Each structure stands twice: as structure tokens, then as C-alpha cells.
Amino acid sequence: MKNFPVFVFPVSLEFYLNARHTHKQLLTVYNPYDFPVNFKVLCTSPNKFTVIDPEGVIAAQSCIDIVVRYTQPSAAHCNSTEKFRITMYDRNTQQALGKRDVPTKLLEGEPISANLESLSDSFHPLSTRSTPIRAVEEHKDHRVTCTHTPYHREQQPVNVVAVAVSICCIAALLLPTQPEPVTSSQWPDWLHIGSNLKLVFSFVLGLVSMLVLRP
């Protein structure tokens, strides 16, 4: 027998003797696999329950709802545990793939959830008006209120040295390149600089520009 997990919700069933609406419940069986499977429902006390469609097929990546009815609720059956077993089978070989047991119990009285509305807190709708974000922290008898105000960036002073370096780098980049013929240039011989030196000035100008323009 293969050991495929069988997914069933809920994992247990509780019926209440004095609440007739609980005598009919649903079991949802999931098939998350990429192939269809057959299923079959068995019970330890079939005389107490009626199951609609206890056998069938679940398509790939689908689920089905199984209706379970408690047909003979009585005080003598209270607090006794029965079980449903859901077994999945391979459609071709009819080999069992996996199983899951779901315990059931008949309880006296009514479910507690019937009185939740009277015991719960009073809830009211929230206003849709936008309000400033406030964080309130209480510690014993002291209350501290923190209000987030808009952040304004202070104006930074202009870096005079960076501006001066930038002007020098720009002036150096405007000078003629050294390989140019000296006769065709109006600049003195000593003002001709090499291309490698211009690359250095360009790099320095880029660093200074990032320093000046960064937020």
C-alpha cells in the first residue's frame, strides 16, 4: 500500500444532541495530485450515520464535499467516539494510495459558538478619514505620544573646495591633447597634456560631482 497523504477538512466532527443544525455536517476531501483518484468512506458505526455518495471520483487538483448525517442522536450515544475512514484508490489498479481517519463524537447541550455573539466585544465601523500617524505607548500611569512630523532636508553648505577642484578639472579637460601638432595649435607647448592625464581629470571630476550633487 502506498503512503499518499489524504487531506480532509475538518479533522474531526462534533455533533450536539440539542442542536439539530449540527446533525448534518460536511467533510471536504482534497485531491492535490495531478491525477484523478477514487475514494471510499467507511464508518465504525454505520447504523448511526448516513453518508451521501460514500464512493466516487475526485478529479485532479480538485475537492469534493461529503454530506454526513447523524441519524440516531440520543443521550445514550453521547460522549462515545466513532470514526470515519476516507481511503483513496488508484483508478487503474484500484490499489489503496492512502487513508485518513476522522473521529466523531456526539456531545450534550449546544455548541459554545451559539453564545459567542453575546460574549464578544462591541465592534464599531472605522472612519475612512485620513489622520496623522500617531504611536501611543502606555507604561503604568504615564502616557507618551509620538507624532511623526514631515522630514525636511536641511540645506547643506556649498563645498568650496569641491567646486574649485571641479573648475580645475574642467579647465584641464579643455586644454589641447599632447599628440596634436604644436604648429597647428595656438596654445603654448607646456599646456599640451596627454590623454592619460585627461582620463585622470575626468575621473576626479566625476567623484567631485557625486560628492556635490548627492542628497
pLDDT in tens, 2-53: 689 999 999 999 999 988 999 999 999 999 999 999 999 999 999 999 998 8
Same domain, 26 and 105: yes
Q: How does the average pLDDT of the chain come out, rounded?
A: 78
- Dist. CA 120–CA 184, nearest whole Å: 95
Same domain, 170 and 100: no
Whole-model pTM: value is 0.51
Is the model's pLDDT at 139 over the cut of 70? Answer: no
Is the model's pLDDT at 61 over the cut of 60? Answer: yes
Which residue did the predictor score with more confidence, 177 or 141? Answer: 177
CB 128 within 8 A of CB 36: no
pLDDT at 146: 46
Residue 155 domain-assigned (yes or no): no
Q: What's the domain count of the chain?
A: 2
Which residue did the predictor score with more confidence, 206 or 143? Answer: 206
Q: Is the peptide bond before 157 cis (omega within 30 degrees of 0)?
A: no
Same domain, 101 and 173: no
Same domain, 100 and 15: yes
Residue 41 domain-assigned (yes or no): yes
Phi, psi of 139 (to 5 degrees): -135, 110
Which residue range(s) make up the domain with 75?
7-111
Average pLDDT of the residues in 58-64: 95
Same domain, 11 and 83: yes
